[in-house]
Amino acid sequence: MEARDCKTPQDVLKLIKEKDVKVVDFKFMDFPGLWQHVSHPACQLNESIFEDGAGFDGSSIRGWQKIHESDMLLIPDPATALIDPFREATTLSLICNIAHPITKEKYSRDPRNIALKAEAYLNSTGIGDTAYFGPEAEFFIFDDVRFDSKPNASFYAIDSIEGQWNSGRDEKPNLGYKPRFKEGYFPCPPMDHFQDLRTEMMLTMMACGLDIEMHHHEVATGGQSEIGMKFGSLVSEADKLMLFKYIIKNTAHKYGKTVTFMPKPLFADNGSGMHVHTSIWKGGKNLFYGNGYAGLSEMALHFIGGLIKHSAAILAFAAPSTNSYKRLVPGFEAPVNLAYSQRNRSAAIRIPVYSSSEKAKRIEFRPPDPSCNPYLCFSAIMMAGLDGIQNKLDPGEPMDKNIYDLPAEEAKLIKKVPGSLDAALMALELDHDFLLKGDVFTEDVIEEWIRYKTEAEIDQIRLRPHPYEFALYFDI
C-alpha cells in the first residue's frame, strides 16, 4: 500500500526493481466513466513503452472506435505510478492516455485527454493557471444486491444489515441499531455499522497517497457513507477520484460487502450526490476571493453566471444516468433550483462559509452525482464557468431564503435543472459551443455522448415495463 512520487519512466523502472514488482497494470477511462485495465508482466516494461505505448482493441470499449479502425495505443503516465494495495502478486498501477497507433495523436474521445485539454485551455486564456476541484462522492455499502430484466420479468432487491426495513427481521438475534430513514447523519456505533470498514478504506487511501480529511455515515439508512478527499487540480483530482472509487469497492469486496455509487438505489430515502467544490487560481492566488457577496470576487460571480446559464448542458455529463433524475426531484431537498446562496443547501450553487480565509473561498456546485465520468464532469463545469467569466455573465441576485418555504408564485420564477437525462442531452445538443472552445470537447465527442446515452440507456429504459407500473395499471 504505497504511493511513490514518480516523474519519469526511469523512476518507474527503479520502483519496479526496488519493490520486486511482478505485474504492471495499465488503467484507462472508458467513455461512460469506468476504469478499464490490462496487465503485463513487469519484465516486459521498458522506457520505450512510455513513448510508443501498448496496443489494444479500441472497438471493444463503449463509445469508442468502430471495428474497422479498432487499433489504439495505451500511453502510461509515469506520474501515476502506484503499488496496488489489493493484488496478491506485487502489482504496479499506471494510468494511461489513449493515442492513435500511427499518428500518436491523442484520442478525442479519451476522457483524460479532454481533461488535459481543459487544463491547457485555462492556461491559454490567461484567466488562471489552475482550476481546483473537490468532489464529495457519497456511496452505499450493501450486503446483497440482486437484479434481472427479462422479457417477462424484471426486479431488483437490495439488502443491508443496517437497513431500517430489517428492523423486524429474525436475525437470530436481531440486535436493532438500524438507522431510521433520513436519520443516518451521523450516529455513533453501534448504530453506525461501518465505522471500521470506512476507517480501513480511509487508511488505505492515505497509504496510496490520497489526502483524506474525514469519513462519516451519511443521511440514508442501509449504509450510506461519505469519505472526504482534499481538493486538487482538474486532471489530478479526476485521477484520484477513480483511485478513491477503486479502493472503496475493493475494500468492501474483501469483507463480503458491495458498494454502489449509483445516485438513487433506494426508494424513500436520500440519494448519493457528489457536490463539486471549485475555484480558479493564478500565481498561487485564489481568484475567487474578493469583497463581493459571501466574500466572492467579481470573477467568481461571473463563473456562477456561466454555471447557471449552461447548467442543463453540464448535467448531461455531471448527472449522466437515468437514475440521476430519481435524485434530482423538485420538493425533496434535492439541489434542483438554479440559484446561488451562502449556506443555503436548497440552492444548486452554494458558497461554503466554514472558513472566510482566502485559500478556502470556493463555490460548490451541488447537482452532480458520483455516476459521472469525473474528467468530463470537471471539464464541463470549468468550461461553463470560463464562458461566464469571458462574457461577464450576471448570476442575478442570491437566494438566501429557504426555497422550499417560498410562496408558489415566487418559487415558480426560479429555474430548475433538467428533469430527465433526455432533457439534459437535448440541452447539450442545443448548447455546447462553450465546450468546443480550445478544442477541449469536439463535435464527435458531443455527438457520440448523446448517441450512446440515448441508445444504450434512455431507449433501453423506455422499452421496458417498470415493476411499479403493474401496481398502478394491471387491473385496468
Instruction: Provide the pLDDT confidence category of residue 88 given band limits of 50, 70 and 90.
Output: very high
pLDDT confidence of 1, banded at 50, 70, 90? very low
Beta strands in 335-431 (DSSP E): 337-342, 347-351, 363-365
Closest CA to 262 of 224, 229, 315, 235: 224
List, for residues 367-391, the tens digit of each pLDDT value: 999 999 999 999 999 999 999 999 9
| Residue 173: cis peptide before it, omega within 30 degrees of 0 | yes
8-state DSSP, 289: B
Tell me the whole-structure pTM to 2 decimals.
Answer: 0.96
Residue 3 confidence (pLDDT): 59
Instruction: Count the neighbouring beta carbons within 10 Å of the beta carbon of residue 10.
Output: 12
pLDDT one-digit tens code per residue, 18-55: 999 999 999 999 999 999 999 999 999 999 999 999 99
Contact in structure between 349 and 449 (CB atoms under 8 Å): no
Residue 170 burial (10 A CB sphere; 0-12, 13-18, 19+)? exposed
Name residue, grid cell 483524506. Answer: 212
Statement: residue 458 has pLDDT above 80: yes
C-alpha distance across the termini of the chain, in Å: 59
Among 67-76, 135-144, 175-184, 320-329, the range scoring the smallest mean pLDDT is 67-76
Query: Cβ(366)–Cβ(343) under 8 Å?
Result: no
| Cα dihedral value 100, 101, 103, 105, nearest 10 | 30
What digits encode the pLDDT tens for the residues 282-323? 999 999 999 999 999 999 999 999 999 999 999 999 999 999
∠ Cα 54 55 58 (to 5°): 130
The model's confidence at residue 147, banded by pLDDT at 50, 70 and 90, is very high
Res 67 pLDDT > 70:
no
What share of the chain has pLDDT > 90, as a percent? 86
Q: Which helix (H) or strand (E) holds 249?
A: helix 234-254
Buried b (16+ CB within 10 A) or exposed e, 15-24: bbeeeebbbb
The DSSP output letter for 342 is: E
pLDDT score of 330: 79
Q: So which residues are the catalytic ones?
A: 57, 136, 138, 218, 226, 275, 345, 364, 366
Structure confidence at residue 69 (pLDDT): 64
| Span 93-127, pLDDT tens digits | 999 999 998 888 999 999 999 999 999 999 999 99
**Which grid coordinates are listed for 307?**
454555471
